[in-house]
């Protein structure tokens, strides 16, 4: 990965966040055509594999996902080649979507960037672990908190609905967080080999 003193602005991190902001302005009828749904994807609406990650249920939901992506993505973007980072943004959403459709058979619809946020959090966290040993205790504590949250989401689905900014009738898709974390580990090793 590149040095932390890179002067490049985080445009590749900001662009998807701006897209999420634009999607927040669209009416619900338009969002229904952008949401990740098994029926839509299997009917040939492939764009949903990407757009479902940038559509959110609420402003709070978008800010929660966007805040993690901004912080962690910015850190990652400053440390790697622009072409590699852009490829990560192009490949991660459809891969995450495809794995989500395989592992969550009861999924009706998916909106949100929390899986992507987990990916960038893992890449940033593993990079910090390697480069800044003094952060290891804090990183370990954060990892345990996120692991406990994902386990609670899996065992008791309505656990974190209010904190996530989701409507009361929408459950957290814990599989997205787990898959995102696994993709983040893979992304970390891929970025290490290319920089």
* pLDDT tens for the chain, residues 1 to 195: 555 555 567 889 999 999 999 999 999 999 999 999 999 999 999 999 999 999 999 999 899 999 999 999 999 888 888 888 899 999 999 999 999 999 998 899 999 999 999 999 999 999 999 999 999 999 999 999 988 888 887 786 555 555 556 667 677 788 999 999 999 999 898 877 665
Say how many residues make up the chain.
195
Distances (CA, A) of 91 to 7, 19, 111, 116: 25, 17, 18, 11
Structure tokens at 44: 């040939």
> Would the pTM of this model clear 0.95, i.e. be above it?
no
Do the beta carbons of residue 31 and residue 110 sit within 8 Å?
A: no
Tokens of 137: 């205790």
* Residues 149/160, Cβ–Cβ less than 8 Å: yes
Q: How far is CA 77 from the centre of its chain?
A: 15
């Amino acid at each position: 990965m590149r040095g932390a003193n890179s002067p490049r602005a985080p445009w590749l991190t900001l662009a998807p966040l701006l897209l999420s902001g634009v999607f927040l302005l669209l009416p619900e009828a338009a969002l229904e055509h952008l949401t990740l749904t098994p029926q839509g994807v299997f009917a040939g609406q492939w764009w949903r594999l990407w757009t479902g990650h940038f559509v959110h249920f609420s402003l709070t939901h978008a800010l929660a996902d966007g805040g993690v992506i901004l912080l962690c993505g910015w850190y990652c973007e400053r440390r790697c080649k622009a072409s590699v980072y852009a490829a990560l943004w192009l490949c991660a959403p459809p891969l995450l979507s495809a794995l989500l459709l395989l592992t969550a058979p009861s999924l009706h619809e998916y909106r949100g960037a929390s899986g992507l946020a987990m990916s960038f959090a893992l890449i940033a966290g593993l990079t910090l672990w390697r480069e800044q040993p003094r952060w290891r205790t804090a990183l370990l504590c954060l990892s345990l908190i996120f692991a406990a949250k994902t386990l609670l989401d899996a065992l008791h689905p309505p656990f974190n609905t209010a904190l996530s900014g989701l409507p009361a009738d929408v459950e957290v898709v814990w599989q997205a967080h787990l898959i995102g974390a696994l993709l983040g580990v893979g992304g970390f090793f891929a970025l290490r080999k290319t920089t």
